[in-house]
């Protein structure tokens, strides 16, 4: 498939997206912003990836990904000439589609999605609103494109990604604790990583209540899992988690008025 895809912004999220696209669709011509020479220099070594200024990226791409910080988008996009029929896909957390729509006129109908850096190796869920067709063409099959019903539900999808660092913290605490008994931090980390990835890998991802089913399976009365979950629940941890997610959702809603 011969496609032209541009990236405005060449930072932490654009770079793995470019590498993924380059691996998946080698015939796709990818244009990237000259910014961030550390990333753009390395990416330009890939066949099919060309570094150019922002207007050239826009002029020479049918599909343009906006991978900028929201405030940079607000100042940079009004100076660029987009065109009718161009497909615009934003990955920006805190700017509304209505605002993006105004910034990229006369291009219309921008789309928003939530990629994460592990899109590079695949298996990255891609919530999208309002239309997932282009995203599916570029990243589908190995990354599940999940069509979201409303723009209001996109902020909470961005917020939900924040469980990753918090989950790493929990795993780090467990590995640390375990290594206090074994004397090997490396073996402890390997054990905990395999325990969790193996368990999650075995879980069906069809959305049919598998978390609750798994908790039931892990809820033998008097069992170890049951005891630890009850202990942590009593500390108010799960309410705190919900409050933290609510706080993120509120922050994103405030920063992205529709
Ligand atoms: N990181 C993630 O995992 C992730 C996931 C989902 C969504 N997002 C969203 O993606 C967006 C970018 O995040 P990021 O983490 O990739 O940030 P980042 O690493 O700071 O990347 C921002 C990029 O924008 C470039 N830039 C700055 N001014 C520019 C201009 N005038 N023209 C063109 N490019 C310009 C920067 O170049 P210089 O370095 O040269 O300034 C850099 O390449 C954010 O809106 C964020 O919400 C990020």
The CA-based angle 94-98-101, given to 5 degrees, is 105
What is the reported pLDDT for 38? 79
| C-alpha 71 to ligand 1 mean position (Å) | 10
Q: 12, 53, 248: which to mutate for ligand 1, most atoms within 8 A of CB?
A: 12
The whole-angstrom separation of Cα 144 and Cα 206 is 11
| C-alpha 113 to ligand 1 mean position (Å) | 15
Residue 258 pLDDT grade (very low, low, confident, very high; cuts 50, 70, 90): low
Q: E strands of the chain, at which residues? A: 4-8, 29-33, 49-52, 63-66, 87-90, 111-113, 126-129, 145-147
Domain-wise residue ranges, the chain = 4-148, 163-255
What is the reported pLDDT for 1? 52
Nearest Cα residue to atom 7 of ligand 1: 91
Q: Is the pLDDT of residue 14 over 70?
A: yes
pLDDT in tens, 218-248: 999 999 999 999 999 999 999 999 999 999 9
Residue 161 CB coordination number (10 Å) = 15
The whole-angstrom separation of Cα 190 and Cα 171 is 11
> CATH fold of 4-148, please?
Rossmann fold (3.40.50)
Q: Is the pLDDT of residue 132 over 60?
A: yes
């Amino acid at each position: 498939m011969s496609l032209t895809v541009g990236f405005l912004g060449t930072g932490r999220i654009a770079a793995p997206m470019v590498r993924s696209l380059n691996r998946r669709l080698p015939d796709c011509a990818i244009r990237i912003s000259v910014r961030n020479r550390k990333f753009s220099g390395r990416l330009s070594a890939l066949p099919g990836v060309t570094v150019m200024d922002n207007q050239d990226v826009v002029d020479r791409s049918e599909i343009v990904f906006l991978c900028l910080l929201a405030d940079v988008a607000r100042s940079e996009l009004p100076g660029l000439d987009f065109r009718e029929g161009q497909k615009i896909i934003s990955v920006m957390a805190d700017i509304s589609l209505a605002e993006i729509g105004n910034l990229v006129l006369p291009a219309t109908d921008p789309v928003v999605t939530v990629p994460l850096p592990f899109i590079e190796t695949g298996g990255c869920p891609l919530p999208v609103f309002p239309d997932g067709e282009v995203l599916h063409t570029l990243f589908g099959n190995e990354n599940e494109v999940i069509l979201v019903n409303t723009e209001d539900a996109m902020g909470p999808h961005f917020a939900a990604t924040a469980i990753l660092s918090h989950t790493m913290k929990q795993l780090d605490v467990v590995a640390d604790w375990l290594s206090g008994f074994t004397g090997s931090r490396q073996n402890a980390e390997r054990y905990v990583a395999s325990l969790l990835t193996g368990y999650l890998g075995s879980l069906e991802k069809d959305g049919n209540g598998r978390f609750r089913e798994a908790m039931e399976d892990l809820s033998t009365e008097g069992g170890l899992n049951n005891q630890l979950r009850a202990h942590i629940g009593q500390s108010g941890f799960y309410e705190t988690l919900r409050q933290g997610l609510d706080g993120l959702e509120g922050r994103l809603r405030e920063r992205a008025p529709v």
